[in-house]
Amino acid sequence: MGEPARYLYAVTRGLAPAVLDGVCGQAGERLEMLGVLDLEAVVSTVDLDEFGEDALHENLEHLDWIERTARAHDAVVQACAAAAPTAPMRLATVCLDDQSVRLRLEEWYDELAAALDRVAGREEWSVKVFAHPAPTTAVMEPAEPALAGGAAYLRRKKAATEERRAAEARSLRAVEAVDRELRGISVAARHLRAQDPRLSGHAGTMLLNAAYLVEAGDARRFTELVAELVRTHPGVSIGCDGPWPPYSFATLDRS
Report the site for other proteins in 1-20 (rule: CB under 8 A). 5, 8, 11
Binding mask 139-178 for other proteins (x = CB under 8 A): ----------------------------------------
Of residues 107 and 176, the one with the C-beta less far from other proteins? 107
Report the site for other proteins in 82-101 (rule: CB under 8 A). 82, 87-96, 100
SS (H, E, C) 177-245: HHHHHHHHCCCEEEECCCCCCCCCCCCCCEEEEEEEEEEHHHHHHHHHHHHHHHHHCCCEEEEEEEEEC
Is-contact 86 122, C-beta < 8 A? no
Binding-site member from 20, 73, 212, 213 for other proteins (CB under 8 A) = 73
Q: Does 199 bind other proteins (CB under 8 A)?
A: yes
Round to whole Å and give the CA distance between 221 and 153. Answer: 50
Q: Does 109 bind other proteins (CB under 8 A)?
A: no
Binding-site member from 1, 18, 28, 53 for other proteins (CB under 8 A) = 53
Query: What interhelical angle do 219-232 and 150-184 show, nearest 10?
Result: 160
CB of 249 to other proteins, least distance (A): 8
Region of 161 (left: φ > 0; alpha: ψ -120 to 50; beta: rest) is alpha
Sequence-separated (6 or more) residues with CB below 8 Å from residue 194: 205, 206, 207, 208, 209
Q: Does 227 bind other proteins (CB under 8 A)?
A: yes
DSSP-based three-state secondary structure for 42 = strand
Of residues 16 and 148, the one with the C-beta less far from other proteins? 16
Q: Does 212 bind other proteins (CB under 8 A)?
A: no
Binding mask 178-197 for other proteins (x = CB under 8 A): --------------xx-xx-
Report the site for other proteins in 234-253 (rule: CB under 8 A). 234, 237-244, 247-248, 250-252
